[in-house]
Amino acid sequence: MDMVFTEQQERWRAEVDDFLRKEVTPALIADAEKQDYVTAPFSVEFSRKLAAKGWLALSWPKEYGGQGRDYLDTAILEEQMGYRWAPVEAHRTGCAFVANGIMEHGTPEQKKRVLPQIARQEVIFCEAYTEPEAGTDLATLKTKAIFDGKDYVVNGEKTFCSGFHFADCMHLAARTDPASSRHRGISMFIVDVKAAGVTYRPMKTINHGTMTHIFFDNVRVSPENLIGAKDRGWQQLMSVLAAERTGLHVAGANKRIVEWLAEYARATQRGGQPVISDPVIRHRLAELAVEIEAGRMLSWRVACLRSKGNQIGVEGNIQALFHREIEHRLAHFGMQVLGQYGQLHRDSRWAPLNGIIERLFLKSCAQVGGAGNTELQKNIVAVAALGFERTW
Ligand SMILES: Cc1cc2nc3c(=O)[nH]c(=O)nc-3n(C[C@H](O)[C@H](O)[C@H](O)COP(=O)(O)OP(=O)(O)OC[C@H]3O[C@@H](n4cnc5c(N)ncnc54)[C@H](O)[C@@H]3O)c2cc1C
């Protein structure tokens, strides 16, 4: 494993950073955070700018709208976007997650048709997987898609869907073989969010974002929108969830937050002394900087594996678990550094750091579930890394 970036990679990071420093202004961030903030700021306009530069599909094959570059270039872009707090939520679900499922499991026709649309941001995706009674144990999902000789007819409901209200299409997991149980008999579909029979209810989240509960009442989906093979959707779901566990975006964002907290502690007086002169604060900042660097290395390991064409296994779960716990500690420590001011919303004129700690704190409570909760990640690590028996 080579831990040193090449000159070409350093030049690429500088090019990305140069662009982001000009484009990701405080006004853009404020606007994107107002649009949505379930997991990260959201701006369709900004995502389309990235698409126009070809940056959303850097490592995809050219025939699918990509540039055929090394995955490590994508990883550098991701880390730098996290660091500059760039709005990624509009494109990330489609480009980084759903596209991975289509790339690995879609038919050649689907790859040619759908992937370039995602790369150009003509289609924004959301994920409709979780159900009221199927979350961590997604294999128990009950939403059905039954072929009637012409179309698949979908009935059921999905919940906790992020970004539905901005999306054009859902990546839907549904049971195509009702006689089968658990992992077998699940298929993946592309479904228009405005299809006849789709109704929904918004759900406001703890961190001022919006998720959606979706109902499917005899929704017709044409066979061309069954992605990959019928009844083989579980493998595709695993490809998507593996792609969600790459972590460099969050590593970059956490690094920036520690730097912001250090600047704040340097510039702020408490009891006549700069906050940074408190050894407890200094040490905790240093500890967090070390933890974030360790998490970053875990994520770079995953990026290197992907760059060499390997499937991501428990390495992805390990780094996802590590980042989630750091984010939690960082949010709590941020509250300690900012004191009473940490709880102020960004709309308050007294909110330090544009209210970022308030949002991070609330997000860290909500983030227990996205792409597999902490307990699920620990269960997987216990089985895959320590050889324990599977108990679920
Ligand atoms: C920020 C965020 C964004 C999300 N976006 C989407 C989205 O876009 N699309 C989508 O489909 N879903 C989305 N989800 C939903 C997410 O995937 C589910 O919340 C997750 O799978 C957990 O399912 P659940 O909420 O039904 O919890 P449950 O499965 O009911 O679990 C509840 C709790 O029980 C415990 N638990 C459950 N199983 C185990 C076990 N085996 N071992 C130990 N403890 C266990 C855990 O503490 C867990 O937190 C999102 C969630 C969050 C938080």
**Does residue 40 surpass a pLDDT of 90?**
no
Please state the atom number of ligand 1 nearest to the C-alpha of residue 162: 8
The DSSP 8-state label assigned to residue 143 in this structure reads -
Ligand 1 touching residue 161 (CB < 6 A): yes
Cα end-to-end distance, the chain, whole Å: 35
* Phi (first) and psi of residue 50, to 5 degrees: -65, -40
Q: Express each pLDDT in 240-285 by its tens digit.
A: 888 777 789 999 999 999 999 999 999 999 989 999 999 999 999 9
Percent residues over pLDDT 90 in the chain: 71
Q: Express each pLDDT in 208-251 by its tens digit.
A: 888 999 999 999 999 999 999 999 999 999 888 887 777 899 99
Residue 89: band (very low, low, confident or very high) from pLDDT cuts 50, 70, 90: confident
Percent residues over pLDDT 70 in the chain: 96
Average pLDDT, the chain: 91
Which residues share a beta bridge with 269? 274
Q: Which of 39, 89, 98, 136 to mutate to test the pocket of ligand 1 (most atoms within 8 A of CB)?
A: 136
Ligand 1 touching residue 130 (CB < 6 A): yes
**Does residue 106 surpass a pLDDT of 70?**
yes
Catalogue all structural domains in the chain, each as residue range(s) with its CATH number: 7-123 (1.10.540.10), 126-232 (2.40.110.10), 245-384 (1.20.140.10)
pLDDT of residue 369: 56
- Lookup: tokens for 328: 């939690």
pTM of the complete model: 0.92
Query: Around Cβ 377, how many Cβ atoms within 10 Å?
Result: 22
Q: Express each pLDDT in 170-197 by its tens digit.
A: 999 999 999 987 888 999 999 999 999 9
Q: Work out the angle between the directed axes of helices 279-307 and 71-83 (0-180°, nearest 10).
A: 160
Cα separation, 20 vs 158, in Å, equals 36
pLDDT of residue 299: 95
Highest mean predicted confidence (pLDDT) among 24-33, 118-127, 177-186: 118-127
pLDDT of residue 38: 64
Residue 42: band (very low, low, confident or very high) from pLDDT cuts 50, 70, 90: confident
Please state the atom number of ligand 1 nearest to the C-alpha of residue 371: 17
Ligand 1 touching residue 370 (CB < 6 A): yes
Ligand 1 touching residue 374 (CB < 6 A): no
Instruction: Determine the distance separating the centroid of ligand 1 and the alpha carbon of 370, expressed in angstroms.
Output: 6
Residue with tokens 């909760």: 373
Instruction: Determine the distance separating the centroid of ligand 1 and the alpha carbon of 371, expressed in angstroms.
Output: 8
Nearest partner of 366 among 162, 92, 170, judged by Cα: 162
Cα separation, 331 vs 164, in Å, equals 27
Minimum CA distance residue for ligand 1 atom 46: 375
Q: Express each pLDDT in 326-372 by its tens digit.
A: 999 999 999 999 999 999 998 899 999 989 999 899 888 875 555 56
Q: Express each pLDDT in 312-325 by its tens digit.
A: 889 999 998 899 89
Residue 65: band (very low, low, confident or very high) from pLDDT cuts 50, 70, 90: very high
pLDDT of residue 131: 97
Please state the atom number of ligand 1 nearest to the C-alpha of residue 379: 42
